[in-house]
Amino acid sequence: MKSLILVLSMTMICAVWAGDKPVPATESITGTVMEIKDVDSYTYLRIKTVTGDTWAAVNKSPVKKGSKVTIENVTIMNDFESRSLKQTFKTIAFGNLAGAGAPKAGHANMTHPTTAKPANAPDEKVAKASGANAWTVAEINAKAQDLKDKPVVVRGKIVKYNPAIMGKNWLHLRDGSGNATDGNNDILVTTTAEAKLGDIVTVRGVVRTEKDFGSGYAYKALIEEASIQK
């Protein structure tokens, strides 16, 4: 993977939208829907904001042109390529549609890959995996350099899940070890296996370190090539 385009697994062919403007790094974007493009699972929206027009992508939703929307948990991507639409977006915001227009429960969340819950909310305690190469989330973060390119097994709860991005599913796993203040309570996992937000799973994969995917997404440790067992 050359860049973390925490986006949908779609690659592009054509044109940059001349009217696109950089979207400020923010937790949400609010504006009026000027244009709508639906594909199989997602809705693309051109939104008029106080700083200009920008494109956003959310899970497929019944949005009407002219309606006012708010996109929460925003992830900003540059030069995103969409094979489904056969076009490139110079700048696009991925996130969740807030309010009445949001998808019903059960739809995969397109969320920012960092904090999955308020910092003061304790993570659920999950029993450590057993057997060879078993570690907790905090241990993997602490021993990342020693575990680099080695197989590990970790059990935890999926607190973030972004499916079908660059041909993989991206999830964040927590097991109650570590803490948010130190940033060692969460581990990113990439896999071709399917899962669901909230699942408690056992992950087997290989530790990678110092991965910088661009757009502000750099990880001292993550698990790749993972298999998942419930």
Last residue of a domain, one of 112, 145, 179: 112
Arithmetic mean of pLDDT, 59-76: 88
Domain co-membership, 104 together with 51 = yes
**Ramachandran bin of 132, using left for φ above 0, alpha for ψ from -120 to 50, beta for the remaining angles:** beta
CATH number of the domain residue 89 falls in: 2.40.50
Distance of CA 75 to the CA centre of its chain: 8
Percent of the chain residues past pLDDT 90, beyond the cut: 46
Domain co-membership, 172 together with 92 = no
pLDDT band at 179 (very low <50, low <70, confident <90, very high): very high
Is pLDDT of 158 > 70?
yes
For residue 66, the enclosing domain spans: 1-112
Is pLDDT of 105 > 80?
no
Question: Structurally, how many domains does the chain consist of?
Answer: 2
In a domain? residue 127: no
In a domain? residue 124: no
- Return mean pLDDT, the chain: 79
pLDDT band at 186 (very low <50, low <70, confident <90, very high): very high
Record the pTM. Answer: 0.55
Arithmetic mean of pLDDT, 83-105: 73
Q: Tens digits of per-residue pLDDT, 14-58?
A: 222 333 444 444 568 999 999 999 887 788 999 999 999 999 988
| pLDDT the model gives residue 166 | 67
55 vs 87: CA distance, rounded Å: 12
